[in-house]
Amino acid sequence: MPPLSSSNSNYKDIGLSKKLQENEQQLKAIFDRSTDIIFRHITIHEKRNKKEILLVFTDGLVNTSELNDSIIKPLNHFSVSKEDSKHIQEITIDNVTNIVNSNEIASVSTLDEIIQAVLSGDTIMIIEGYNTALKLNSKGWASRAIEEPTVESVVRGSRGGFTENIRNNTAMIRRKIKDPSLKIQELTIGTKTNTFVAVVYMEDIVDKELLKNIINKLTGIKIDGIFESGYIEQILEQNHFSPFPQMQITERPDKACGNLIEGRVVIIIDGAPQVLIIPTTFNQLFQSPEDYNERVLFGSLIRILRYAGFLIATSLPSIYVAFISFHVQMLPTNLIVDLSKTRAQVPFPPVVEAILMEITIELLREASARLPGTIGQTIGIVGAIVIGEAAVRANIASPTMVIVVAITALGSYVLPHYSTSYALRTIRFPMIVMAATFGAFGIIITWTWLIIHLCSLSSFGYPFLAPFAPINMGLFRDAIFRLPLEKLKKAPNRKS
Amino acid sequence: MYRKYANGEITALQSYIIIISIMIGTGILGLSRVVSDIAQQDAWISVLLNGIFISIIMAVIIHTVRKYPEDNFLQYISYLLSKPIAYLVTIAYIIYATLATATIIRFLLEMIRTWLLETTPMAILSLILVLTAVYMVKNGLTIVARFNEVLFFYLIVFILLILVALPETQLINLRPVGGSGIKSIIKGAIPSFYAFGGYEVILVYYTYISDKNTKILKYSVLSVLSVTLFYTITVASQIALFGPDELSRVLYPSMNYLRAVDFPVFERMELFFTVFWSFTVIGTMGLQFFSGCLLSQIVFKTKKAATFAYIYAPIIFMLTLYPKNTPHLVELSSYIGYMNIFFGLILPLLLFIMSLIRGGKGSNEKSV
């Protein structure tokens, strides 16, 4: 897989010399004090003379048994065996490919390409007397087995998730879409990390303008290192300060493939299992592959539940604060009596109570994410129950507040797209403050600002709030409820 | 979205929604009282006639503006009426739009102070609303249109609120139908003109529609007719509930209408109504404000209309604080009503007649 662009510009135009000795010295100077770069000499005894071959590879990145069996063994065998040397008199760069068993052989001539190849796990073979070298595929390193993604688990659907190895990930996509128009273009991004990035799309469905735009932006990235898809997301996104993500992230191959078939572009980065899906719209943050695996009625109802969860997670604490502080007359009389009994014992105004409880929940959330395994879960449960109880007993919070906070937390977890929960938490706090200052009017104004912000957001030129604004009937078939699959057959025309 | 025009573009569907959204605004609150003061129990017939009349005006407008698709407001008026008059009309419209925005904001503030926040000072609420308006128009026409599109879904919920008190209504209040006499009915249509106001903004926005087609005429008229239907049913149900005598004593019948029925969860439905209605009014306000800024940008030839948003914001802020109390506001808003009649009635007819006389294709330049 030759990378489209490499950033190791120091060695870009330096080639090899015909003398093996000089090549070896040059490479040893570059890889000085890297003891994991191995230089293996092989001397071939040909009919008339000896020939020196140098193999350069990185220990730990190569599959040593394959290297030994397929590359070193045939070369050694050639020296010894009389039959082989009958057909081939002299090892040249052309016929060594007939001796060596490797499934991918390419020729490289610049130092730049050789360094990239060695650092990626290929083996470089330099033959005395030639100024081009051969790159043999021998990649193999320890990697994680395919597991279910932790934050995107489904009840019905495949349990495999992407891994850190880009080749495994592209293979998982190929397994789901067996179509030659599925194109996988690779780039190298990052001047120091030289990370492989794959741009995956369906040639006949994708929007060509969008694709050109994405590839231009990617090749124009000048940054030291790319470690995860988030780096690319932050470079490509249009609005850095919006709480909402402008691209989707997923670890599930079925979600990635579903989006590919609808004409979107998937970007896979070597080294992290999360892939990017471009472009995205607001309603996609509420979609999960399960909606399509289940039947129409449940797919639609659960999706409506998710929208309700979104509304609850953003607004419920603010509604509580607004009602208790400003509009007590809105509540039924019985409720007011009970509420006033419990609230009378709390010394703080409702807004302080709300913010205290919310901050506690946020701390709990972060703590349980950082702590290992079972301790984290225990803290989560214990913390929630014990702290809630204790807070009520100590008259720091009223029981209604605890219920409100608990339902809010649940509401924010129904979203299938994990990054959106950050958006919810970010929006919730200003809304509580606005509700405390201006009551229901504050909530109205905050929602207005939110909607205006969402209206002006766009993901790579595609309006973020489609299909709600601009109303696009094609996308509506899949927005709040999901129409039967026969009606969803064609990829919707997303441009508006 | 690749923008054809510097100020953004809208689709035809968005233009229909704009028409509906800008018409449903502050007028609906007192509409039934204002009309039934004159037409008694036949106020709904007045409203209906008014609506039909306005839909005819809308057809006239679209028919005229359709001939000059690439000209903006200033250009086709200067073609039809001559340049100096066009500048005069445009500047008058800018003043009208600014005053209308200030009136709308002030009206909204009155409602909020009455029903939601009694003690908060007017200035702070006004400041927040003006800032919201500036934020809405900052990014151009497309964003304002999209905001109203999202609000359109709210409107559907809003409309259901009409049906709420139907069990309590007494149809006898509507009888005798036609008993007020033709004269009262027609006279009653005049104050209801203000409730329908805002549709003339299509004069400004027509040129920015990206997919103009022959159906625009049909659907624009349909938009006006649907608003008419909504208003007619509202007025009819309110008369049926209150009766014309009681109705003249209620300041905001639309609000008190909701007190007729008890709800299980919410004690006071009016707050609920206020919330939905506020969103609608904010949408209307954004559209009016932007039309003023847009025309200013055309006249003074700046790069973006948003510059004028910043300039007009303090002016509007001070204007909203000017009326001393609600009756003063109502008096001032009647002047706005007169300007509305000019821009909504006289100007389109004038343009229509001139377009028939002059014919031709307009200045046909690429719009700003």
The answer to whether the Cα torsion of B275, B276, B281, B287 is positive or negative is positive
Residues 6+ apart with CB under 8 A from B247: B32, B33, B36, B238, B239, B253
Q: What residues in B contact A327, CB-CB < 8 Å? A: 116, 268, 271
- Residue-level pLDDT at B314: 92
Q: Are B305 and B138 in contact (CB under 8 A)?
A: no
Could you give the percent of chain A with pLDDT greater than 90? 16
Q: B156 and chain A: CB distance < 8 Å anywhere?
A: no
Q: Report the distance separating Cα A53 and Cα A51, nearest Å.
A: 7
- Span A182-191, average pLDDT: 90
Q: B132 and chain A: CB distance < 8 Å anywhere?
A: yes
- Residue-level pLDDT at A198: 93
Structure tokens at A159: 């349990």
Neighbours of B280 (CB within 10 A): 22
Instruction: Single out the residue of B86, B272, B280 nearest to residue B198, CA to CA.
Output: B280
Whether A5 shows a pLDDT value over 50: the answer reads no
- Span A336-354, average pLDDT: 85
- Residue-level pLDDT at B368: 41
Nearest to A470 among B125, B129, B149 (CB): B149
Interface of A with B (CB under 8 A): 326-327, 329-333, 438-441, 443-445, 447-449, 451-452, 455-456, 458, 461-463, 465, 468-471, 496
Q: B20 and chain A: CB distance < 8 Å anywhere?
A: no
Q: B136 and chain A: CB distance < 8 Å anywhere?
A: yes
**Three-state SS across chain B?**
CCCCCCCCCECHHHHHHHHHHHHCCCHHHHHHHHHHHHHHHHHHHHHHHHHHHHHHHHHHHHHHHCCCCCCCHHHHHHHHHCHHHHHHHHHHHHHHHHHHHHHHHHHHHHHHHHHCCCCCCHHHHHHHHHHHHHHHHCCCHHHHHHHHHHHHHHHHHHHHHHHHHHHHCCHHHHCCCCCCCHHHHHHHHHHHCCCCCCHHHHHHHHHHECCCCCHHHHHHHHHHHHHHHHHHHHHHHHHHHHCHHHHCCCCCHHHHHHHHCCCCCCCCHHHHHHHHHHHHHHHHHHHHHHHHHHHHHHHHCCCCCHHHHHHHHHHHHHHHHCCCCHHHHHHHHHHHHHHHHHHHHHHHHHHHHHHHHHCCCCCCCCCC
Classify A233 as helix, strand or coil: helix
Taking 50 as the pLDDT cut, the residues of chain B under it are: 1-5, 365-368
Task: Please give the single-letter amino acid code of residue A80.
Answer: V
- Residue-level pLDDT at A281: 84
Q: Are A462 and A494 in contact (CB under 8 A)?
A: yes
Residue-range domain boundaries for chain A? 9-136, 166-280, 294-463
Q: Report the distance separating Cα A341 and Cα A356, nearest Å.
A: 20
Whether A91 shows a pLDDT value over 80: the answer reads no
Q: Report the distance separating Cα A103 and Cα A101, nearest Å.
A: 7
Nearest CA in chain A to B120: A438
Q: Are A47 and A89 in contact (CB under 8 A)?
A: yes
Q: How far B191 CA lies from chain A's nearest CA (Å)?
A: 30
Neighbours of A416 (CB within 10 A): 24
Q: B263 and chain A: CB distance < 8 Å anywhere?
A: no
Q: B11 and chain A: CB distance < 8 Å anywhere?
A: yes
Q: Report the distance separating Cα A495 and Cα B36, nearest Å.
A: 48
Q: Report the distance separating Cα A401 and Cα A321, nearest Å.
A: 9
Nearest CA in chain B to A336: B267
Cβ-count burial A228-256 (b if 16+ within 10 Å, e if not) = ebbbbbebbbeeeebbbbbbbbbbbbbbb
B78 phi/psi in degrees, rounded to 5: -70, -25
A185 phi/psi in degrees, rounded to 5: -105, 135
Residues 6+ apart with CB under 8 A from A177: A202, A257, A260, A261
Q: What is the pLDDT of residues A104-125, one digit of tens each?
A: 889 888 888 888 889 988 999 9
DSSP structure class, residue A385: I
DSSP structure class, residue A144: P
pLDDT band at A493 (very low <50, low <70, confident <90, very high): low
Task: Please give the single-letter amino acid code of residue A367.
Answer: A
Q: Is A194 left (phi over 0), alpha (psi -120 to 50) or beta?
A: left
Judged by CB atoms closer than 8 Å, whether chains meet at A465 and B265 is answered as no
DSSP structure class, residue A205: T
Architecture field, domain B12-352: Up-down Bundle (1.20)
Q: Are A250 and A275 in contact (CB under 8 A)?
A: yes
Judged by CB atoms closer than 8 Å, whether chains meet at A445 and B1 is answered as no
Q: How far A189 CA lies from chain B's nearest CA (Å)?
A: 28
Q: Are A44 and A25 in contact (CB under 8 A)?
A: no
Q: How far B114 CA lies from chain A's nearest CA (Å)?
A: 12
Classify A55 as helix, strand or coil: strand
Judged by CB atoms closer than 8 Å, whether chains meet at B146 and A448 is answered as no
Nearest to B278 among A330, A444, A449 (CB): A444
Q: Report the distance separating Cα B18 and Cα B160, nearest Å.
A: 20
Position with higher pLDDT, A431 vs B153: A431
Q: Report the distance separating Cα B249 and Cα B260, nearest Å.
A: 16
Q: Report the distance separating Cα A98 and Cα A87, nearest Å.
A: 11
Instruction: Single out the residue of B18, B91, B29 nearest to residue B339, CA to CA.
Output: B91
- The residue with tokens 């800008």 is B22
pLDDT band at A447 (very low <50, low <70, confident <90, very high): very high
- CA–chain centroid gap for B59, Å, is 17
Judged by CB atoms closer than 8 Å, whether chains meet at A438 and B120 is answered as yes
A198 phi/psi in degrees, rounded to 5: -110, 130
Judged by CB atoms closer than 8 Å, whether chains meet at B278 and A333 is answered as no
Task: Please give the single-letter amino acid code of residue A235.
Answer: I
Q: Report the distance separating Cα B334 and Cα B238, nearest Å.
A: 23
**Least confident range of A33-42, A273-282, B181-190, B346-355:** B181-190
- Residue-level pLDDT at B75: 82
Judged by CB atoms closer than 8 Å, whether chains meet at B278 and A330 is answered as no
Judged by CB atoms closer than 8 Å, whether chains meet at A452 and B14 is answered as no
Averaged confidence pLDDT in chain A: 84
Judged by CB atoms closer than 8 Å, whether chains meet at A468 and B150 is answered as yes
Interface A–B counts its CB contacts (< 8 A) at 88
A50 phi/psi in degrees, rounded to 5: -100, 150
Q: Are B23 and B238 in contact (CB under 8 A)?
A: no
Report the DSSP beta bridge partners of residue A91: none
Q: What residues in B contact A456, CB-CB < 8 Å? A: 139, 143
Q: Report the distance separating Cα A421 and Cα B266, nearest Å.
A: 29
Classify A195 as helix, strand or coil: strand
Give the DSSP H/E element, type plus range, for residue A458: strand A458-459
Judged by CB atoms closer than 8 Å, whether chains meet at B128 and A452 is answered as no
Nearest CA in chain B to A437: B120
Instruction: Single out the residue of A53, A250, A57 nearest to residue A137, CA to CA.
Output: A57
DSSP structure class, residue A162: -
Nearest to B1 among A330, A447, A461 (CB): A461
Q: Report the distance separating Cα B248 and Cα B32, nearest Å.
A: 9
Residues 6+ apart with CB under 8 A from A319: A435, A443
The answer for B 161-190 residues in CB contact with A (under 8 A) is none
Q: What residues in A contact B265, CB-CB < 8 Å? A: 332
- Span A56-84, average pLDDT: 83
Q: What residues in A contact B274, CB-CB < 8 Å? A: 440
Q: Are A278 and A236 in contact (CB under 8 A)?
A: yes
Q: Report the distance separating Cα A355 and Cα A325, nearest Å.
A: 14
Q: How far B150 CA lies from chain A's nearest CA (Å)?
A: 6
Whether A307 shows a pLDDT value over 50: the answer reads yes
Q: Report the distance separating Cα A433 and Cα A352, nearest Å.
A: 10
Q: B281 and chain A: CB distance < 8 Å anywhere?
A: no
A250 phi/psi in degrees, rounded to 5: -150, 155
Q: Report the distance separating Cα A199 and Cα A214, nearest Å.
A: 9
Instruction: Single out the residue of B111, B95, B98, B99 nearest to residue B137, CA to CA.
Output: B98
Q: Report the distance separating Cα A160 and Cα A163, nearest Å.
A: 9
Nearest to A452 among B2, B147, B275 (CB): B147
Q: Report the distance separating Cα B238 and Cα B248, nearest Å.
A: 11
The predicted complex's ipTM stands at 0.90
B315 phi/psi in degrees, rounded to 5: -60, -45
